Each structure stands twice: as structure tokens, then as C-alpha cells.
Amino acid sequence: MELTRRQVIQAGAGAAVVSPPVISQLGFDLTAAKNVKLTLRIEGATVSHSICPYCAVGCAILAYTKKENDGKVKLLQIEGDPDSPVNEGRLCPKGATALQLAVSRRRVESPMYREPGAAEWKKVSWDFALDKLARNIKASRDRTFVTADADANVVNRCEGIAFAGGAAFSSEEGYLATKLMRGLGLVFLEQQARV
Amino acid sequence: MTNHWRDIRHADMLLINGANPAEAHPVGFQWMMKAKVERGAKIVHADPRFTRTSAVADKYIRIRTGTDVAYFGGFINYVLQNNLYHKEYVEFATNAALVVKDTYSFNDGMFNGFDPQRKVYDTASWAYEVGPDGFAVQDINHPRSVLNLLRQHYSRYTPEMVSRITGVPSDQYLEVAKMVGEMGRPDKVMSIIYAVGLTHHTTGVQLIRSGALLQLLLGNMGRPGGGMNAERGHANIQGNTDHAISWDILPGYMRVPAPGQKSIDDYVARSAPKKLHANSLNFFGTNYRKFLVSLLKGWYGDNATATNDYAFSYLPKPASDSSWLSIFDAALRGKMEGIMLSGMTATSIGPDSNQVLQALSNLKWLCVMDSYTTTSSEFWHAPGIDPAKVQTEVLMLPATHWIEKDGSFTNSGRWAQWKEAVLPPDGESRHDHWILAETFMRVRDLYKSEGGKFPQPVMQLMMDYKDARKPELDEIAQEINGKDLVSGQRHSTFAALKDDGTTTAGDWIYTGHYPASGNLAKRRDGVQDPAKNDPTGMGFYPNWGWSWPLNRRVLYNRASADRAGKPWDPKRPGIQWDGAKWAGDVPDYPPTANPADPASPLPFIMTGEGTGRLFSNGVADGPFPEHYEPVESPVANPLHPNVSTTPVAFHYDERAGRSNRYGTAAEFPYVATSYRLTEHEHYVTQHVDQLVQLQPEAFVEVPFELAQEKGIKTGDAVRVSSKRGKLEVRAVVTKRLGPLMIDNKKVYQIGIPIHWGFVGINSGQHWLANALTPFVGDASARTPEFKAFLVNIEKL
């Protein structure tokens, strides 16, 4: 495994175990406390690199994860990446709480469907949801596709479907969205630059 | 941004308006503070509110929202009148000397070329005189030279007139004008910093252009510490604009083809910039066809051939504007059947949220892909809506969030930074790109089994990923970069692209980010070793991520040096001629073009003129920016009261025959504007506990004097209403807002944070700020006027 700069620093700090005791200004020996804190952060954690999901400053972040005994990956901590020429380790209140955006009881758990006129959501399978979406797209495309306009220009456009989105898409997802939507013939395409 | 975040520290002055970086981009703001603290840069902040940005500014200018054309225009006039512009730069790097056709006119608020029936200008009527050589005529002393027309146009923007429009006292304005004028010296440089406070107006495009004109006159474009720097508000708006999730462009800022363009040649002839000067490189115009053919080869592969004009007919050609407002207008007119929303909530975004709710109710179907519920996924049971009456079928598909997938984000400074997948997908959630790919493949299957309208593009679109239903973002990154179809090698530069069908490039401006050696957006050679990673010492950090185009960190950087290739300020070089090549940043110029050669290209290689444009027909509402009042305004335009608002704004309701939804100052006497708070980002943060704890409740900010008049105290419940809707929230009474004298009339401005709605942890706060905002768009970009509208306020 490649050691990050942070791990090297932490490894160096860990070596304090054999160094003379760390004495605080009030005279307490803090060695034990320091070691506990450092151990908790490091032990078994993997460091991954990401970018803050909020505004477009593009702060680099470090995400610490750990595989739990049940095999689930737990996100322990998100902090600014000190190596970044953009943020040099700093984060604002939003970036600093990004962990709560990533891991939340409020995430939508499964696909949901609301029938016309219904007062409630119905939990549905992915297969049902994607089949429904594909059929809706095809039906609307077939109903609203214009091959030639009134002046007999070839226009090959679908006028009845719009796609909007993606300020938190990865660029590659955004590109795929453009390609697929243009492939379907959509002209109503939008994201958040304007709004 | 023409420059990038870290670069801002090189500025001598920061002119910030339409932005509040200390609160909305706090970490980016550190570079402005570095400029101030380390090099004594002066910060001037013009804003309706005194914010935390104002608190550290050298000058705070209270300004009426939506009047920045006048604010910038007064500086343009001051700089020209007092000959403070950077003469050598202007003559070398702008179109100041080109002569405009004698049909040009501007009278009482109207430019030539207006079609009163269609309410649009014929932009082709704003053109240069053409000489016998086929290029634009040059004579800077000609009465109709761009420079002289510019002088004439802005001569009306005296400090007194600017004061009448903006509310800034003329003595205070002159103090700032003097500071701005200093920045025309070659050894000085200013950065203009703005955000949606400038774009969200019916004059939005011209507001930005005003700043760009000022920067060109001062010689500040292309230079470290200079430029026009838009602070974007979402993690990857930049990347997704570059990749053209936008009705009017194809990836890499090529125009979307229009009806009547029958072939690629026809499309290129009508879309690509034309060479207007013998020494113009016209790089974009010259290579447009190569970029388009390479895109079509990437999309349609072997089905794009010379014989079928590379499947050009498959590209959809829109009948008219198809942007955000047009989507909901089409739904209101019953022309839109279905909308897919991913990570965007129409209801909260608005404008005129009540009308947007009506639009969503008119759909046959709506599909929301998001990690959290939104005011759009839940619109059918929004407060005041009876679900039984909403016949829209709604799907909510749980999508993974940023941390569960890899891929790159491109920041405001155009730096593409790759991120790793940190966590596995939460619960049943799926990646957006897998949802989209799977849906597309299912539609393809349906066309295969059932047939239907013009299935060819759907059947033939290249989906040659390892798994067409689950493409990897790494595969897509390679597709965006493009390759040589003969050798199979990925390109290292867009200079390799051809128009004979032997190359691909999904987005030419990203070609070179993923060469044979690997994905350069993954690089992380940063401040851990400045001596090694920042060889010029200018903060370019060329091996941290990758910036488009070609890893160039400052756009237009040829203009950072004089004709001979010497930096205007040797202490802050962008690029410089070392006798054999251009050194420093990646040059925005042929890397070995000797400046001593009389045939060497002009500095702005992307324009037909070869220079920056002080006069341009690339915008729909005038070749020079002109101040027009917001559509809802408390005063008539002091410059030309008979043409008070822009004659070419698009009034959707009026055009569609719907009833008028604009208010008047008699009913709604106060100006309102909207903004973000540090602790929230649009609407998703209503799901984040700690942020909801920090900023739990909707409120409006009310100027102290107005609150006294109305008997409103902090904490009182108030009703803020516009012609379109209302909020009933608490008031925060503050001296950070105050009255302005606008054309001898006392005008108050009210501040409205945008973040709340009927979805989130604290869902009792169901008021939508954008219920107040008007459904009207800028002539060029159709950007809604979120930032200036009229309201009334009452104590409850």
C-alpha cells in the first residue's frame, strides 16, 4: 500500500510512544491520551480522495473508511486534503459536515411509484420502475417526435420530453446524459448553469 | 473563471459584485484574503446587503440590485474619458480599431436591427465594414471605430447618471472609479469576481459583458491576477456545461444545429467564427468541422460515414429556445409530456414556483432521480395541492451520491479533479449513469421489438462499453478524450483531430486529459512540495488535476505579455517568449510562434477577429451593454424612460397568452433579491442535520428604517408577497440593508434566503422563496430574473 503524507506524519507521531513523555502546560503527561486519539483515527482506516459535493470551489477532501466486522464499509471522517492547491486542507461548514450528506437515515431506500391521482407512494422494484420509465419515454417520443418541420427541414427532434440535471453528476455521467438524450432526439436539455 | 481560485492572490484589486464569496464560497475566499493581506490588494464590494465580504472590503458600495451595467458602465466611461485605459494592450489585443458599418445606431434605448413583430434584434446587422481583402476595416481614428463608438455609447454614464440608476452617491462612486482607473497601468492588475448576482437578470449576459469590456480596456484579461471570474455554485456545473447538458450547445461549446442546416458544411458555415483579420488564427472556426465530425464518430461509430455526412441528420434540431423556462412553459401549454429531473428540483428552483407546480401537474409523467426526496418528487402533495387532482405519474429513483461513485468534478477554475468511489451504494440506490444507460437500453429493446418513430439514432448510438447497461466512468472518460481510429491510441491533444472520420473525441476541450499515459485528472502533486510541484512559482500546479484546454491554467494568456512577448508585469508572468518558445503556463497560442514575425497570430486565437471583443454581435440584446431596468422596477429607466426594460427579454406568459403575472411599484413598493447562506446549498442541505441545526428556519432580512416605518421587530412574523406568491416567515431587522435614493425616490431592498421548502428535516417551513420570482428570461441566455423583483411586506 502506498503511504500518504498524512500516514507518514501519523506514523511519525506514533513513534512518540518511545519518545520522552509529552507534558502539557499544566503538568499532565498527555502521552497516553495522544496515543488513544491517534490509534482511533488510524487503526484499520483506508484513506480515499474525493472532492466536496457542494459549491464549485472544488475543495479536495480525504475520506476515512473502515470495514466493519459485518463487512459493511463505515465512513469515519471527512476532512480537507492539505495537499490541495485549491483549499490547502480547509473546508467550510457544508464541506465539514459532508459526512452527514453521504450517510443519512433520510436517503431514499428503494424506487417509489405514485399512480395518477394517488395520495401515497408505492414501493416498487427497480425492474418495475425502469420498465415504466422506458415505456413512458418510448410512448412520449413516438407521440411527439418530429422528423421534418413545416418548412420540410429534417429536424429529427422529440418535443415532448425534457431532461434536466446533474450539478452533482460526475463529468462523465453528464457527458453520458447528453449523449443518450441527444440520441433519443431530445432538444429540451438543461442543468443548473442557468438557474 | 478565466483564471482559477489560487490565482486570485496575484490581484492588486478585487472588484466584487453580484457575489458574496466570504459566505457563499468561503474556502475560495481565502485567495482574496491572501491578495489583501499579502500584497495589499484593495477589495471593493458592491452589493445590496452589507455581508461578511463587505466586512473585510476596503470599500463597501450599497447598490440597487440589477444595475451593474450602469456600475461597470460608469467605470468604462471614466477610464475612457481620462485616458486611463491600457493603450498598448487595447490596440494589440482588442477590436478597438475595427470600423463598424454605418447602419449601426443607438437611439433612445434601441439599437438598429429591431424587429417589432418578433421582438428580436437581427444580430447580423451589427457588423464591421469589410475591406477589399475580405477582412474588417481597421482605423482606430475613424468616427465609427469600435473605440470611438464605445466612447460615445458610454459618455452617458456619468457619475451623476450612475448615481441616479444605482443609488451609489457620486462622490463615493468617483473614489472607486479612481481606484479602478489605476488598474489600467501595465504593472497593476484587477480581478472581477461575480456569481449569480450578476447572471440572474433580464440583462444578465450584458452585465457580464460589461465587466469583460472593462477588463479588456484595463488590459487585465489573460493575466495572472486578472480576468472575469464567475464563482459557480454547484460542484460540477462547470463540467456539465462543458459536456453540454444544455439545449443550445454540443460538447465543447459547439452550437446545436438549427433547422435548415442540411449538412455539416452548412452547419459549420453558420456556426463557426469567421476570420476577420489577416493575422487572426481563428483556431475554433478553422477546426470546428474536425471537432464535430470527431464527436459524431464517437456517438455513431461505423454508422457515421462520409456518405451519410457522419450521421449529421441524427442530431436533433430544436424549433426554438429549449432552456429551463421553456421546458415549464411548454408544460403549461400542454406540449410537454414527461420530464426527467436528476439532482435538480424544479419546484424550489422556480422561478414562480406556483406556476412551476402547475406545469408539473400538466405532465403525463415525471421521473426524479435523486438521493433524497425533493420538492419535485413530492410536488403532488405539496401544501395546498390535492393529490387526487394531479394526474401526473411520478417515479422516484434512488440515486447514489457523489461519494459512492468515481468520476471527475470540474471546479469553477476549470480544474478537473478525479474522485474515488469511497462507499458502496447506499441500500438499493443505483448510479445515475447506470439508471440512464439501463433505461436507454430498455428503450432500444422496445424499438427493436415494437418499432416506432425514427428508431435509427436510438438503435445506432455507440454503447460499446464492457457492459452497455453499466458503463464505467473510466471508460466514458476515455471516450470523452477520444482516440485515433487507425492506431487505436488515445489522443494527447485536440490538434490530432481530423474531419475525415478517422478520429473520435466526445468533447474536444477535454481531449488530452486522458492520453495513453493515463487519466491526468487523477494527479495530486500539490502544495506538499511547492518547489517541485509549482515550478513557475505562480501557483499553476500543473500536475494537480487537469484543466481544460490542454492543462492551461489561465485562459487567453497570450495577452499577459506585450507584442514582443514580454510580460506586462515581469513579477507576475503568465507566459513569455524565451527566444525559441513560449514559457510559463501552457500557452494559449502556438507554442513556437515568434512574436517578432510580422505574420504571428493575434493574441485571442479563438475569435474571428483575433482579439478580445469590445463590440460583438454574439449576444441577442445589443453589441454594447446598455442598462435596462429589471422587468419589475420601482423607477423608469433614467437613461431612456420610454424603453425602460430590455425590448428583447422573453415574456413567456404574454407570448403564450397567459394572464400577466408582473406586479407594479404601486402594489409592491419594495425591491427584493434572493441569496444563499453559508450553511446551506440550495435545497439538498435541508436533509443534513448539522446544517439544519445551524440555520433552522426561513427568514427575510428587512432594512432597519423600513422595519421602523412598519413596526416590525426581529422575530416578528411577516408576509412578503409578490404578484405571484407569498412567504410567511420571521423577519430579521438589520442595518446591513438600507434605503437608497434612486432617481430622487427612496427605495428599500429586502433580502430573501432561498433554502427552505416543504421537504426536509424541518418541513414545517414550507415556504418557497421562488414563489415570489418572475417567470421571465434574458434575451440571450433566458436566465430568469431571480435577483431583482418587487414585493410588499406586512407584519402579521
Q: What is the CATH number of the domain that holds B712?
A: 2.40.40.20
ipTM > 0.90, yes or no:
yes
Amino acid letter, B420:
E
What is the per-residue pLDDT across B680-711, written as a single tens digit (0 to 9) for each?
Answer: 999 999 999 999 999 999 999 999 999 999 99
- For residue B698, the SS3 value is coil
B242 and B228 in a common domain: no
Contact B150, B212 (CB under 8 A): no
Q: Give the pLDDT band of residue A29 (cuts 50, 70, 90).
A: confident
B673 and B659 in a common domain: yes
Q: What is the CA radius of gyration of chain B?
A: 26
Q: Which CATH class is domain A45-104?
A: mainly beta
CB-based contact B422 A144, cutoff 8 Å: no
Whole-angstrom distance, CA of residue B315 vs CA of residue B430: 29
- Domain extent at residue B313: 238-318+472-513
B260 and B218 in a common domain: no
DSSP letter assigned to residue B399: B
Last residue of a domain, one of B185, B215, B232: B232
Cell reading at B754 = 432561498
Cell reading at A7 = 500516514
Contact B700, B751 (CB under 8 A): yes
B206 within some domain: yes
B272 and B148 in a common domain: no
Amino acid letter, B89:
Y
CB-based contact A190 B678, cutoff 8 Å: no
CB-based contact B396 A108, cutoff 8 Å: yes
Q: Is the pLDDT of residue A8 over 50?
A: no
Q: Is residue B151 classed exposed, middle or buried when 0-12, 13-18 and 19+ CB atoms within 10 A define those classes?
A: middle
Size of interface A-B (CB pairs under 8 A): 498
Whole-angstrom distance, CA of residue B31 vs CA of residue A87: 9
DSSP letter assigned to residue A2: P
What is the per-residue pLDDT across B481-520, written as a single tens digit (0 to 9) for each?
Answer: 999 999 999 999 999 999 999 999 999 999 999 999 999 9
B484 and B349 in a common domain: no
Q: Is the pLDDT of residue A28 over 80?
A: no
pLDDT for position B284:
98
**Best mutation site among A64, A128, A190 for testing chain B: the one with the most B CBs within 10 Å?**
A190
Q: Give the pLDDT band of residue A9 (cuts 50, 70, 90).
A: very low
Looking at residues A123-143, what average pLDDT do you find?
Answer: 98
Q: What is the CA radius of gyration of chain A?
A: 26
Q: How far is CA B220 from CA B72, B89, B95, B282, B511, in A?
A: 15, 9, 15, 22, 28
B101 within some domain: no
B426 within some domain: yes
Q: Is the pLDDT of residue B4 over 60?
A: yes
Provide the shortest C-alpha distance from residue A21 to chain B (in Å). 29
Q: Give the pLDDT band of residue A31 (cuts 50, 70, 90).
A: confident
From the list A56, A65, A131, the residue facing B411 with the nearest CB is A56
What is the per-residue pLDDT across B747-768, written as a single tens digit (0 to 9) for each?
Answer: 999 999 999 999 999 877 679 9
Contact B203, B66 (CB under 8 A): yes
Amino acid letter, B58:
D
Nearest CA among B191, B183, B182 for reference residue B211: B191
Whole-angstrom distance, CA of residue B496 vs CA of residue B511: 9
Looking at residues B582-596, what average pLDDT do you find?
Answer: 98
The residues, any chain, with a CB within 8 Å of residue B399's CB and separated by 6 or more, are: B342, B343, B369, B370, B371, B429, B430, B431, B432, B435
pLDDT for position A20:
56
B64 and B24 in a common domain: yes
Provide the shortest C-alpha distance from residue A32 to chain B (in Å). 30
Whole-angstrom distance, CA of residue B780 vs CA of residue B287: 25
Q: Give the pLDDT band of residue A42 (cuts 50, 70, 90).
A: low
Percentage of chain B exceeding pLDDT 70: 100
What is the per-residue pLDDT across A100-131, written as a single tens digit (0 to 9) for each?
Answer: 999 999 999 999 999 999 999 999 999 999 99
Q: Greatest CA separation found in chain A? A: 89
Whole-angstrom distance, CA of residue B515 vs CA of residue B492: 5
Q: How far is CA B301 from CA B178, B293, B295, B422, B488, in A?
A: 58, 11, 10, 34, 13
Nearest CA among B35, B39, B50, B45 for reference residue B5: B35
B245 and B220 in a common domain: no
What is the per-residue pLDDT across B139-159, written as a single tens digit (0 to 9) for each?
Answer: 999 999 999 999 999 999 999
Cell reading at B261 = 442546416
Q: How many domains does one find in chain B?
A: 4
- Name the phi and psi angles at A124, rounded to 5: -130, 170
Q: Is the pLDDT of residue A40 over 90?
A: no
Q: Taking the mean position of all CA atoms in its chain, how far away is CA B103? A: 31
What is the per-residue pLDDT across B633-652, written as a single tens digit (0 to 9) for each?
Answer: 999 999 999 999 999 999 99
B157 and B81 in a common domain: yes
Looking at residues B6-19, what average pLDDT do you find?
Answer: 98
B265 and B405 in a common domain: no
pLDDT for position B766:
79
Contact B272, B292 (CB under 8 A): no
Q: Taking the mean position of all CA atoms in its chain, how far away is CA B82? A: 32
Q: How far is CA B9 from CA A95, B34, B36, B224, B586, in A?
A: 22, 5, 8, 9, 20
Residues of A in contact with B410 (CB under 8 A): 58, 171
B382 within some domain: yes
CB-based contact B28 A57, cutoff 8 Å: yes
Full 3-state SS string of A71-131: CCEEEEEEEECCCCCCCCCCCCHHHHCHHHHHCCCCCCCCCEEECCCCCCCEECCHHHHHH
Contact B631, B167 (CB under 8 A): no
Q: Give the pLDDT band of residue A166 (cuts 50, 70, 90).
A: confident
Last residue of a domain, one of B172, B203, B232: B232
Q: What is the pTM of this model?
A: 0.95
B356 sits in which H/E element: helix B353-361
Nearest CA among B737, B731, B674 for reference residue B699: B731
Looking at residues B713-732, what average pLDDT do you find?
Answer: 98
CATH number for the domain spanning B159: value is 3.40.228.10
B696 and B729 in a common domain: yes
pLDDT for position B190:
98
CB-based contact B457 A183, cutoff 8 Å: yes
What is the per-residue pLDDT across B215-250, written as a single tens digit (0 to 9) for each?
Answer: 999 999 999 999 999 999 999 999 999 999 999 999
B791 and B660 in a common domain: yes
B82 within some domain: yes
The residues, any chain, with a CB within 8 Å of residue B694's CB and separated by 6 or more, are: A93, B679
User: Hunting for cell 421553456 — which residue is that?
Assistant: B326
Among chain A residues, the shortest Cα distance to B317 is held by A155
Contact B56, B22 (CB under 8 A): yes
- Distance between start and end Cα atoms, chain A: 44
> Quick one: chain A helix, strand, coil %, rounded to 5?
35, 25, 40
Percentage of chain B exceeding pLDDT 90: 99
Last residue of a domain, one of B181, B206, B232: B232
DSSP letter assigned to residue B543: T
Count of C-beta atoms within a 10 Å radius of residue B769: 26
Nearest CA among B740, B783, B733, B768 for reference residue B634: B740
Looking at residues B559-567, what average pLDDT do you find?
Answer: 98
Residues of A in contact with B316 (CB under 8 A): 155-158, 182, 185-187
B613 within some domain: no
In degrees, to the nearest 5, what angle opens at C-alpha B10 toward C-alphas B571 and A91?
A: 145
Residues of each domain in chain A carrying CATH 2.20.25.90: 45-104
Provide the shortest C-alpha distance from residue A42 to chain B (in Å). 17
Among chain B residues, the shortest Cα distance to A148 is held by B259
What is the per-residue pLDDT across B291-337, written as a single tens digit (0 to 9) for each?
Answer: 999 999 999 999 999 999 999 999 999 999 999 999 999 999 999 99
CB-based contact B233 A186, cutoff 8 Å: no
Provide the shortest C-alpha distance from residue A126 to chain B (in Å). 8
CB-based contact B689 A185, cutoff 8 Å: no
Whole-angstrom distance, CA of residue B771 vs CA of residue B729: 13
Q: Give the pLDDT band of residue A38 (cuts 50, 70, 90).
A: low
Contact B645, B629 (CB under 8 A): yes
pLDDT for position A27:
76
Residues of B in contact with A162 (CB under 8 A): 322, 327, 330, 336, 338-340
pLDDT for position A39:
66
B791 within some domain: yes
B476 and B343 in a common domain: no
Residues of B in contact with A118 (CB under 8 A): 387
